[in-house]
Amino acid sequence: MITLFKYDEDYNYVDGAGISIEEGEEIPEGYTDVRPPDGMYKRKFDPIKKVWYESATQEYIDSLQPPPPEPTEFDILEEKVADLYYLIAMGGV
């Protein structure tokens, strides 16, 4: 059995639409036996080169990243104490 991976009319990977065929059977149109690599956001297939490539823009990838965490009360106090130490060291108090 050979596992095939589906792509749509724009060559975008179709998740969960893979099929299996017997060895020697013809690969149907819209499928490939080239496994898409892990770690891509939007896989796109190049049927001439027979490779998958990343088609997501950096803006799209960045939009999927979680926002940075808000500083905790401890982080805020730590920064204020550091500022006070700096003022004292500079003779500003």
Tens-digit pLDDT profile for residues 14-35: 999 999 999 989 999 999 999 9
How many Å apart are CA 18 and CA 12, to the nearest integer?
A: 13
Residue 93 scores a pLDDT above 70: no
The pTM (predicted TM-score) of the whole model is: 0.66
Stretch 3-15: mean pLDDT, rounded?
Answer: 96
pLDDT at 88: 87
Q: Which amino acid is it at 37?
A: P
